[in-house]
Each structure stands twice: as structure tokens, then as C-alpha cells.
Structure 1
Amino acid sequence: MAQPTQASKSCTLRKLIPACCSTNFTPRVVKFHFNISSKIENITERLQDLQRKKSELNLMIEHVGDTRSRRTGDERSPSTSLVDEYSGFYAESIVPHRNSLFKARHSTFIRHKYDGSQKFEAFSRAPKLRTFLPLPVFETRSWQNFYLTNHVIYDLLPQLHVLRVLSLSGYNISQLPNAIGNLKHLRYLNVSGTTIEQLPESVSELFNLQTLLLRDCRRLTKLPKNTGNLVNLRHLDIAGTTELQEMPLGLCKMTSLQTLSKIVLGRGMGVNELRGLSNLKGALSIIGLHIVMDTEDAREANLTCKQRLEELELVWCSDFDDSRNKLLEKEVIDLLKPSTNLKRLGVKHYGGLEFPSWLGDPSFSHLEHVLLNGCRDCTSLPSLGHLPSLKVLHISGIEGVKSVGNELYGVGCPQVRDAFPSLETLKFVDMVSWEEWYTNFNNDDGKLGKVFPRLRKLIIAGCPNLINISLPRLPSILVLKISQCQEVLLTSMVSIACATSTLEIREISGLVQLHEGITQFLGARLEVLVIQQCNELVSLWQGDAACHNLVNTRNVAVSECSGLVSLVGEEGQELPPNLEKLEIWSCVNLEKLPKRLKSLKSLRLLSISHCPRVIILSTTIEEDAQSNINDGKAEDFMIESFSQLEALTIYGHPSLVAFPLGQRIPTTLKRLYFEPSENMEPDSEEMWLPKSAAPSPLLESIIISSWANLKFLPGSLFKFVHLTSLYISSCSGLESFPEREGFPPSLQRLYIGDCVNLKYLIPDDDRHQMQGLASLLELTIYNCPSLEWFPRRCWPPNLTTLVIEGDIKRPSSGAKQRGWDPQRLPASLADLEIIGGASGVVELFYNCLELKKNHSLASLRISKFKNVESIPTGLLRRLTFLESLEIWDCPKFRSLPRGLLPTLSCLQIGGCPVLQQRCSKEKGDYWPLIANIPCVEIDDPDSDELTAA
């Protein structure tokens, strides 16, 4: 099939989104970018996928009040979109004026973090809207909250009487109004990913509803009791509703259902409710099968006839008490045989002694993924080797299995010449009784058959008794992960998986080192080696043969191996010569680094963290001095030898006695994270950058932490011309920053924290130096009680984020009695956070803040102010664009600007008893002003949780 050209893709895009292809664009609507072609391609692919999904929904189309007869294929998209003034409307009028809103039928808009009332002002003039659709349709970023004004939910939506499609997915809404039941024409309702706990009963009166999506509503506890009345419902998606413990009765009446992602048995809901749902397709999870007491119910479910089901999950209770009936559960699972069109199957906590005979039948030719979890009483595994399409097999928690052999492969099946011919991923977890794994697989003609010919990834975890392995070599395995097992298993599996490129091992009992047999089997194909929590490990290997064998190993990571003393067994031995990444973390007894570490010319990342006994020296230390430190255990550390190094982390080393920047810095270095020993003294500026050394042209980030004796940051810091991030923390001796040269002009982020003796960022006689930092965007000052703040107007001109927390010093001279000049913040500032300290000086600074006329402040957060009662006048008169306001732990704070409140998108208050009372729901005098703010969260003094108003 020919690939679509760029022109055809653009044409498709114009057809699918007429709103984005109008010839009436203005510069205010669309800004073209150089990468528009790739964006069109990406959008086109996504829209085609949405169009495919839409066709699968089979939504009925009706034209209410339209005398023109239309076939579905003849419908034309609206010709004009009023995207300029009325963003998101698709109108059926060519002239984009206000009156055309009355004719608008469909609306879409981009979902933002806060969607307030102003965004929907025009919607009230479009009473004939049929579509209310935020984009993207399915919001997958579950970690991010989106907030919608109550005005939409309680005022706007009930007025849209002809609405067909309504989506509120991804918004942080906890309930829908009962008036939702008045939207009689509604076909599609999507509240996926919201915080809704239960739907109003009136939803069961939406008799035209065809699609109800509740996916990932993790707080949903129940559905309306009359949900069964929705006889036209085709799609009910309740996947991810972990708190949903019961289902409404009458599901068997919903014979149009095509999607039912799960059914929870109990409280009158039996598995036989599935009997009439012959149109089900996609995925189905049946939860609570342990309550089935009559096998006839399982027979009536008639899963075999549900030909369009592709995924099935059968779930019993995880509690194996005396009430469980092994024989009954075996009969039930026998009768729950699905259609042979199944692609994915999961069986969880099944209590029978053996799996059903249909599981593994070759007739399941489409089955690709099988999960068997927690079926602890089963004594053998099903014969799955016959399944021709099986790609992924996960087996876990089957405690009764002691031996795995020919029964798994399906010996004697005439249809199959190889066992598991398509399997790519195999995982065994928590098989605590498993002792042996063997194969003696013969074809029907008596010849030895192949086993796992395409296996790429093998994981064995929590199998402490597995020691007897008799398998043929499996050269197709590329990833091998073994954990909580014995060393003998590791040795056996490495010899079997002889072409492994990634080896990850964790908690291997009896592993002292990777002996020559292991490294020889791994050989030149190994690229990644990860070792974790192997406490008996003394060294990685012994002898030079390992390096010769592991010649292509690129990444080595060793962590939490408390017995590790040396990376290599003997003096003079090496690490793999082509190593690019070396990470050592929390090996508390590690004493030695290889002498030839500096010979690793390809090393790009070096990280040594929380290894307190390793002594790291610079080459400037005399040789005889080195030999006197810690009985000769100190090792040469020549950072300048790593000509390709890009990232260096040295952290948590009380024995670090020299600063690595005292050597020639590799010109490739980009990131440095450094925490030295407490007694390390910075002797001179050359410790940072020797006069003979050229500045590192690529260094972008420096993090220095817990250097008590550091007193200054020298001017050579200015030579790092691409430095964008500087993070200085817990350097109690630091008194000043570069006095002559100042900070690099490329600096974008500056963090200074817990530097208790820091006196100034810039010298008093060069107060405009900060204004030269045109690239600085983020500035954070945390707990610097000796710091005297900036003079008036001396702020970086393009600063967007400013955070001041803890104590700072009251200036020795200043305006009037407060000791502060007015602090006029830059117009570019978008986020401001001020957190008070014990001395109260920050409160005085806060009261002197001012904003310029053309400011862009969007977020203000203040907290821990004992005496502050309101927002200072200098800020208040310029807060017309503020979106988010947070006030925490300000016990005397009592008032907010009334004119500001309705324009906010987010208001959060806690630890302010007077203000909390004034903002209380339905009762406080501020409530009418804040009721429609998308995000209102007021701390409840009687609860440990933050509650939404």
C-alpha cells in the first residue's frame, strides 16, 4: 500500500478539521512553525485513529428539526470555524459574526489546567450545541489535574437541551448535577479520569445514551441502581474503577452492550447476567468468581458464543480460606471457556488444583498474551506450548508447582512441531516451591523439537529453590533478569541464554563474584550489566579474562551491595575497555576503585554515590602523601583522563579530599554533581580551574552540596560560557559569589539553599550586575539568614520564577523605618513564592514588593507569615492577570481583594482560620465570589486532608 504524501495528509487534515483550515486565519489565531509538516503528520495519524474508533461506536445519527434528508456519507463538515473570537466553535454559517453562534452545532476546545468561566462566555449564546468536547478526548496524563469551573457543570450544561456529545474527561470534578438527566438527547457521556464518587440517579433516565465512559474513575463506588434501564447503551467502560465493588441489577436487559470492561459479582449480580450480552467485544474482566455456587450460572454466561471478545480476565478472591471449594472452582472455570478469537487471557487467584483443559488448546490461534497469577494451589502448569501466536507469558504465585517440564510444552500434539513458536517474553515470579525446569520435547515424528525459538526476554524472580535446570541453549534471549534466586541458577541460565545483551541480577544468594564461567558465557554480546543488593558480592570478577570476554559491555551499574570491597579482584585488573557508563551507589564497604579506571577513554557517565569508604584524590596530591592516607587505600582519580565524559556525580563521600575541577576538565563535560568531605579545603581559585586549563565549553549544570569549608565561588566560574544551572546547597562557609566577573551570562536557573553565612550575591558597588543576567529565568533563595537582598530595581530583566524561603538579613540602610527600598519586580515574572522564616524579616521584604505595569504574574504563593493580614498594596494593584493564589499558615490573614477573586483559576488556603471561614462553602461572605473558580481547595481544620470547596 502506497504511503500518503504530505499533500494528501494536509488534505486529510483539512477535511477532518475544517476549523483549522479556514482561509480567514488571522495572525492572532495561528502561528506557523518550521516543524509544521511533522505536526500535520502526527495530528493526521491521531485523527485517523479517532475516526476509526468513532466508526466502531456505531452511533445512531438523527437530524432533529431538519427537513433535508441526508445520508451519513453525504454530511458535510461546517465550512467555517469562529476560531478567532469564539475559540472552539464550529458554525454552519459562512459569516463569522456573533449571530452565527445561535446556529453553532459543535464545539471543541483544548483542555488546560484551569478552565474558568471566561473561556465559556460565548457558549451561553449557542443553545443548539450538540457537541461539548475538550481535547484530547482521552486525557492520559493521570499525574496532572485539570480543573473546570462549576459554572459549566451547574449552569451552562443544563441549558444545552439538545446536547448529544458531552465529555468532561480528565477534570477534577467529584459530582455531576442531578439536572444531567434532563439532557434527553445525550448519546455520549465521558467522565473518564475524574474524581467522581457516584453518578446521579438521573443518569439512568438518559434513555438515548449509547456510550458511558468511566475509565480510571478511581473513586467511583457505585453506579446508578437503574442503570439497566439504559437499553440503548452500547459502551460501558468502567476499567480502572478500583473502588467499584458492586454492579446494578438488570445488566441482562442491556442487550445492545458491546463494551463492558468489567463486571463485579455479588449482591444479586451473578455471572449469568452475561447470558444476553451476545454483542460484547473488546475487553471483559469478571471479578468475584469465588461467590459462584451454581455451575449452571457459569454455563449460562455463554462466553464461548461471545465471538468478538478479545481480552478476558477471570478473577477470584485472593483470600484462600476454608470457604473455597477447589472442585467447584474447577467446574466453573471449565464452563467459562471463551471464544477462540481471544487475544489476551488473565486468570487470577483461581483455587482449583489444575487448570482447565481448554487453556492451551491450539484452537486459540489468536491468543497472544497469557497471565496466570496467584493460583497458588495448582500443582502443574497448563500445556501452553501449543498456542501458535502466544508472545507474552507471565506466571506468578503458583506455589504448588515443583517441577516444570514437558506438560508445559505440550508433548505429543501433532499440530505443533516447536513449543512456544512465537513466545517473546517469559516471566516466572514467586514460584517458591519450584525446584526443577527441564525439557525433553520431541516432535510427533520423534525428532527433538525446538523450544522457545523466538524468546527475547526471560525474567525469573522469587524462585529460591530452583536449582536443577536442563534446557537447550536459547540464543534468541537478549534480556535476562534474575532476582531472589541462588547463584547456581544464575550460572545455569547464563550458559543457556548465551547471547544475552542485558543482564540484571538482584539478591542472588551465594554470589561472591562473577566467575570466569559466567563472563565467558556472556562474552562479547553483553552490553548492559546491572547488579543490585547482592550482599555477598566481594568483587565483580577475578582476573583479566573477564575484561577480555566483556569487550563490548557499555553500561555497568552496581548498587546496595554491602559486601563489595573492590570492583575488580586484584591490583592492575581492569573494567571492560569500552565502558560508557559506570554507576556505583550505596556500596558502603567499597574501598578500591580500579587503578586503571583512568584508562576508560570511552566513559561518558561516572557516578559514585554513598560509598563512604572510597577515598578519591586529585593528581595534584603528592605520591607519598597518597600512600599515607587510609593505609594506602586511596586511589588515583584523574578526571582529565576521561576525554569523553559528559556527566560526573561524586556524592556522599566523607573521604573525598580533592575537588575534581582542580584538574583539566574534559571539554565534553555537561553535568557535575559534587559533594565533598567536610574537611576539604579549597586552597585557591586554581582548584576550580587551573590557569593552564581551557574552560569546558559544554558544561551546563553544576550541583555542589554540603561543602562546609567552601568560602567563595571564584571568578573562573564565569568561564563556563554554556552553564545554565547552578545549584549550591548546605555550604555553611560560603560568604560570597564571584566579585569581579559575576555569574555566567548564560545562566538560566540559580538555586542557593542553607548557606547560612552567605552575605551577598553581588557586591554593593556593582548592584546592576544582576540586570546583566538576561538569561536567568528561575531564582530560588532558601534559608540564607546573612544574605542582604537586592537594591531597588536590580533584578534580572527576564526572570519568570522567584522563590524566597526562610530568613534573610535586614539591610543596613534603606527606606524609612522598614529598612527596605521598594522592590519592583520585573515585568516578566510569572511565578512568585514567598515563605517566611523565624526572624520575620521576609515579611518586611514581602510588604515592599511592587509590580511593574506590564507584568505577567500568574501565580502567587505565600506562607508562614505570622503577622501578615493581606496582600501588599504594591502587588495588589497590579494583579489583574493572576491565575493561582495560595495562602498557607498565615494565622492573621483575613482579607482578599474582592475584585480579584472572580478572575482566579485556582485558590488554595490552609492554616488561615479567619480567611477559611470567610471562604467556607455556602456560608462565607467570599463564597459567591469564588464558587465558580475551577480549583478551590480550603483546608478543613477538622480533617487531615485538603478538601475541595
Structure 2
Amino acid sequence: MGGLTSLQTLSKVIIEKGSGFKVSDLKDMSNLQGDLIIDGLDEVTDPQQAMDANLMGKKGLVSLEMYWTYSFDDSRNSILEYEVPSSFEKLTQLTIEDCPNLVELSIGLISTLEYLFIYNCKKLVSIGENVGSSNRKSVLREVRFSGCDSLESYICANTVEKLWIEDCDTMTSVSMSTTFKELPLSLRSLEVDYCKNLKSLFHEQLQSLTSLEKMMIISCENMNDSFPSGLWPPNLRKLIIGELKKPMSEWGLQNCPTSLVELSLHGDDSGITSFATEGDATNTASTSFLLPPSLTSLYIWNFNDVESISEVVKHLTHLQELDIWKCPNIKDVPQSNSSLTVNVCVLSKTNSQLDPNSTDGALTFILLDALFVTMELKLSNTYLYCANSPWKYGKESVNGGTLIA
């Protein structure tokens, strides 16, 4: 097959043992175009064969997918398999998923790597702080880890713009690399959720993240007691936070940057009973959460002890959207108007304290068979009661507004 030098379309090849097809047989097929899938790369016994294939020299290729077998036994040479990806000298994206016996990832030689995605590798303990860097400057732009239950720490390259870590049970620390200190920190989006043993997140480095605009940290129940400490990235615009070790009632004044316009608070076990603005810090109880006045969007979830929010909204003069989810004891909310949209959802009508007769019919009560819905109403308040049965996807008109489920 290697003699088909004029071949333009080859959708898939399977590497075989012995005298079967070898990856190096692709060497002279310089006219290949479109998509190519290579399966059975675990059969490659010499990384030089992968280099000889000269895949990156085939300018017509748009997409390249490479697969190793799901069978893990003694017949596989793990050292050689680590070297095969490094043989593709212009590799820009690497996705590794469902490799149950992968313990260490050694890809530091791939200096061209821009995207690294690792999912459900339960035994992975190390990817090495030199991934994408080593003696050459990193070009990594986006990194994702999910379901890596044995990975204890990650050192983020300065060039990374998006970092997402989810469901990594043994992860204890995340920090920025100290290699190539002359490079500016590029991180724009940081999302960390359900990492139950995480203790340190960019400790003493948060204020250095001048490019960071979005930050999410949810359900990290062992986070160091010093977090949050009122030291934030200076240009932060969106913050999603809650369910940390330190209760919200102990956070105090957070000195959020004036750039912060969108705030989502998750209030499980928060100890919060009310909300106030940062300007009222000296006149409020410790159980009152202090909101920055710069907000245009506010989302509050699972605040079981909060009864009122109307008063504080009067002082949030820039607020355009208010979403209230699963706050069963809340008794009053502000009226929607041309500049403010108010969305409310509780799990059932029976556990809501909202009174449909309290405003002479100005409030609209709707019982929906849905788990999560979005209501967009400009002219009147609408309260969503979400039961547990599935909602049929679609759109319906409700009292002049639009229901999107």
C-alpha cells in the first residue's frame, strides 16, 4: 500500500503486527487530503516509524485522529508509547480519555502543544511541570482535567489562557509556573469545581493574574481557611463561588475589583441570612453577605435562611438581571421592569414563602415540570416552581414572556 504515492483520500488505517500495515507506509503519500484516522498505534514498536510517516508534511490533511487500544496487558511497551506522540513534532492538541492504567504522562518534548485535555484517567499521578515547556517556552493555551482521581497538583504554564479542573478528588494545589518569569501571565478563564481536597489555588498569585476575567471555584470543601481573603485578580469580571471550607458568614469585606459585573453565589451551609452592599459594611451583621455595587448580574443559589433581597437591590444601581434559585424562605423580591429582569425558581410550591396575593396579582406563579429552566420576562415577575419530572423541550408563550426549557 505504501506504493500508492498519488493517493488523495484515505479515511482510516489500522496498524498491524508482523507484515501488516505499518505507520511508516504513509511516508510517500504526500497528497493525502481531508481527514485521517490511525488506529492501533500501540503496535508501533519504534517511534522512528511515526517520524518516517511525515504526517505533518502532508499539507492537505485537515484532521488527524490517533487511537491506542483499550486493552492494557503486559504485551504493551509503555515507554515506547510515551514517545510516539512526541514523534509528531507539530502536534497542537492532545486528548487522553479513559486510560485506567495511565500513571505518568511524559510529553514535555511536544513544544508545539496548545491544547491538553485529560478525562477519566483514574491512576494518573503526574504530568510533569515541564509539559509543553521543558527548555523551550510553552505555547499551551488551554488545559482541562476531569475525573483524574490520583492527580495531586498541577503547575500551570504562564501561556495558558483557559484552565478547567473538575472532579479531581486528590488534587491539593494549583499554582503558576516559575519558569520563564519574564513571560506575562495569560490566564483569562479559571474553573475549578468538585475537587474536595483542594487546599491551595494560586496561593499569593491571584493578584498577579491581571488577564483573568472569569473565575469559578465551587464545592472545594477543604480549601485553605485563608481563602477568600479579599485579594482578587484586578480585572476580574465574572465570579462563581461557594461551598468552600470557610463559610460565607466569615468572609467579611472582600474588596472586589470594580471590574466585577457578574456574581454567582452558591450558599449551601453558608450561614448567610441577608444581603447588603459593601458600603454598609460597618452597619451589618456578620451573617449578611456584602455585595459589590458594580454588579450588573447577580445569581444566588441555595440560601435557605435568606428571607428578603428587595432592599439591597435598590442600592445595586447597575443591576440588570437577578436570578434566585432554591431559596425556599425568601418572601419578597423586587419587581421586574424595563431595566431589571428577575427570575425565581424553587423546587415546589409548598416550600415557597412567596405569596401570590401579596401584590394584588402583580406576581405570576407557574408550576413547571422541569429541573432547570430559564424565564425571560421584562414586564412582570414570574416565579418558577420546578418539580422533578422531565420537561418537554421547546418554547411556549407565558403571560407575554418567553419560556425556554
Fold-level similarity (TM above 0.5): yes
Q: CA deviation at 1:735?
A: 1.3
1:651-662 equivalences under 5 Å are: 651-661=97-107
**Alignment partner for residue 20 of structure 2, among 522, 528, 542?**
542
Matching residue's letter, 1:783: S
Q: CA deviation at 1:751?
A: 0.8
Q: CA deviation at 1:786?
A: 0.8
Corresponding residue of 2:95: 649
Q: Which has the higher contact order (CA 8 A, sep 6+)?
A: 2
1:502-541 equivalences under 5 Å are: 516=1, 524-527=6-9, 529=11
Q: CA deviation at 1:641?
A: 3.1
Conserved? CA contact 2:92–2:115, under 8 Å: yes
Matched, 1:596 2:49: yes
Distance 1:660 1:691, change over 3 A: closer
Matching residue's letter, 1:656: L
**Alignment partner for residue 826 of structure 1, among 247, 250, 257?**
257
Matched, 1:755 2:195: yes
Corresponding residue of 1:772: 208
Conserved? CA contact 2:238–2:263, under 8 Å: yes
Conserved? CA contact 1:760–1:789, under 8 Å: no
Conserved? CA contact 2:36–2:64, under 8 Å: no
Distance 1:759 1:871, change over 3 A: farther
Partner of 2:101, secondary structure, is coil
Q: CA deviation at 1:773?
A: 1.5
Distance 1:632 1:878, change over 3 A: same
Corresponding residue of 2:31: 552
Paired with 2:376 and 2:168, the residues of 1 have a C-alpha distance of 46
Partner of 1:687, secondary structure, is coil
Corresponding residue of 1:841: 270
Partner of 1:782, secondary structure, is strand
Distance 1:844 1:645, change over 3 A: farther
Matched, 1:880 2:317: yes
**Alignment partner for residue 933 of structure 1, among 354, 370, 378?**
378
Task: Supply the RMSD in Å over aligned alpha carbons.
Answer: 4.3
**Alignment partner for residue 679 of structure 1, among 123, 133, 142?**
123
Paired with 1:558 and 1:939, the residues of 2 have a C-alpha distance of 48
Corresponding residue of 1:701: 142
Paired with 1:845 and 1:704, the residues of 2 have a C-alpha distance of 36
Kindly provide the CA deviation profile for residues 180-230 of structure 1, in whole angstroms up to 9, marking residues without a partner as x: xxxxxxxxxxxxxxxxxxxxxxxxxxxxxxxxxxxxxxxxxxxxxxxxxxx
Paired with 1:935 and 1:696, the residues of 2 have a C-alpha distance of 55
Q: CA deviation at 1:665?
A: 3.3
Matched, 1:636 2:89: no
Conserved? CA contact 2:48–2:87, under 8 Å: no
How many residues are treated as equivalent by the alignment? 357
Conserved? CA contact 2:161–2:189, under 8 Å: yes
Partner of 1:596, secondary structure, is helix
Matching residue's letter, 2:93: A
Distance 1:546 1:680, change over 3 A: closer
Partner of 1:726, secondary structure, is strand
Corresponding residue of 2:398: 948
Identity of aligned residues (%): 23
Distance 1:549 1:711, change over 3 A: closer
**Alignment partner for residue 782 of structure 1, among 218, 236, 241?**
218
Paired with 2:123 and 2:362, the residues of 1 have a C-alpha distance of 59
**Alignment partner for residue 910 of structure 1, among 337, 345, 350?**
345
Distance 1:880 1:538, change over 3 A: same
Paired with 2:245 and 2:344, the residues of 1 have a C-alpha distance of 28
Distance 1:692 1:926, change over 3 A: closer
Paired with 1:775 and 1:926, the residues of 2 have a C-alpha distance of 42
Matching residue's letter, 2:8: L
Conserved? CA contact 1:835–1:865, under 8 Å: yes
Conserved? CA contact 1:704–1:728, under 8 Å: yes
Q: CA deviation at 1:747?
A: 0.6
Paired with 1:864 and 1:798, the residues of 2 have a C-alpha distance of 28
Paired with 2:265 and 2:120, the residues of 1 have a C-alpha distance of 31
1:42-81 equivalences under 5 Å are: none
Matching residue's letter, 1:551: S
Conserved? CA contact 1:789–1:808, under 8 Å: no
Q: Which has the higher helix share?
A: 1
Corresponding residue of 2:281: none
Paired with 2:390 and 2:355, the residues of 1 have a C-alpha distance of 17
Q: CA deviation at 1:808?
A: 0.9
Conserved? CA contact 1:888–1:911, under 8 Å: yes
Q: CA deviation at 1:757?
A: 0.5
Matching residue's letter, 2:154: L
Q: Looking at CA atoms only, which structure, 1 or 2, has the larger radius of gyration? A: 1
Conserved? CA contact 1:702–1:726, under 8 Å: yes
Matching residue's letter, 1:613: S
Distance 1:613 1:932, change over 3 A: closer
Matched, 1:859 2:283: no
Matching residue's letter, 1:553: L
Distance 1:784 1:572, change over 3 A: closer
Matched, 1:803 2:244: no
Partner of 2:151, secondary structure, is coil
Q: Which has the higher strand share?
A: 2
Corresponding residue of 1:96: none
Matching residue's letter, 1:924: G
Conserved? CA contact 2:331–2:355, under 8 Å: no
Distance 1:653 1:572, change over 3 A: closer
1:542-621 equivalences under 5 Å are: 542-543=20-21, 547=26, 550-554=29-33, 556-558=35-37, 566=40, 596-600=49-53, 602-603=55-56, 612-613=70-71
Distance 1:897 1:525, change over 3 A: same
Corresponding residue of 2:371: none
Paired with 2:48 and 2:11, the residues of 1 have a C-alpha distance of 21
Q: CA deviation at 1:556?
A: 4.4
Corresponding residue of 1:90: none
Matching residue's letter, 2:255: R
Q: CA deviation at 1:671?
A: 1.0
